[in-house]
Amino acid sequence: MVNDEFVLFHRIADPASAAVRREIVARGLKSRIDFQNVDSADGRALFAARGGATVPAVWDGAGLRAGTAAIMSWLSELQNNGGEVMNEQIQTVEQSSSGLDANVAGALCYVFGFFSGILFLATEKRSRFVRFHAVQSTLAFAGLFVIQVLLGNLGPLKALSPVVWMVAIGLWALMIYKAYVGEAFRLPVVGETAAKELEKPATGR
């Protein structure tokens, strides 16, 4: 069934289009966005009717958003404002190497901070979702640990240590929840690095 509300206009052989398609699938939004290849007669006609010029471009229900950066920003808005948080691909295709459901394994990546992140990063071979959270947990909590150590040795700045600790606890609880509900929620800075795991092809069941 074609979704008339949201449409991605793309070309099969275009690298930028391919990256956007992967991102839509990874975020669990494929069932909400219709893919239209502008090299097909129907896709070309629909794209022209909506004033399209370059791909990739997405019709957001009101107008076209062209270019990878604009589309990625819109995808985040869509996902964070009632979009499909549960990733269908995670639930029906990918399975964790641990034998656990992918959302449970993803949540466990955060339970013991970067230690569990490293453990799942070393052992997870199948699920991109789990590896995403493993990378993010490792980078985020290792970074916070280093900051804590540095503050503890910088005299006057020791007073900031409890603040960092509170941030770490809040982040820990948030990320366990986000992973458990099946969301590939990206933290600033480290999230972009971790997101590269989502672009890799699934490697089996």
- The answer on 166 and 101 residing in a single domain is yes
Q: Looking at the DSSP assignment, which residues form a beta bridge with residue 58?
A: 8, 65
Same domain, 36 and 93: no
**Total domains, the chain:** 2
Residue 4 has what pLDDT? 53
Residue 169: other Cβ atoms inside 10 A = 10
| Gap between the Cα atoms of 40 and 27, Å rounded | 26
Look up residue 113 and give its DSSP letter: T
Q: Which domain holds residue 71?
A: 7-80
pLDDT above 90 coverage of the chain, percent = 44
Dihedral pair phi/psi, residue 41, rounded to 5°: -60, -45
| Within-domain flag for 2 | no
- Pair 128, 154 in one domain: yes
89-96: average pLDDT? 54
CATH number at residue 22: 3.40.30.10
In this structure, the answer to whether residues 43 and 109 fall within a common structural domain is: no
pLDDT at 91: 44
Q: CB-based burial of residue 88 (10 Å sphere; 0-12 exposed, 13-18 middle, 19+ buried)? A: middle
Dig out the tokens for 28 from the structure.
């669990």
Encode 40-78: b = buried (16+ Cβ within 10 Å), e = exposed: eeebeebbeeeebeebbbbbbeeebbbeeeebbeebeeb
Indicate whether 69 belongs to any domain: yes
What is the average pLDDT value for the chain, to the nearest integer?
Answer: 83
How far apart, in whole angstroms, are the C-alpha atoms of residue 19 and residue 194? Answer: 15
Does residue 204 sit within a domain? Answer: no
Quote the pLDDT of residue 200. 65
How confident is the model at residue 70, as a pLDDT? 92
- pLDDT above 80: residue 139: yes
Q: Look at residues 16, 53, 12, 13 and name the one whose alpha carbon lies nearest to residue 36.
A: 12
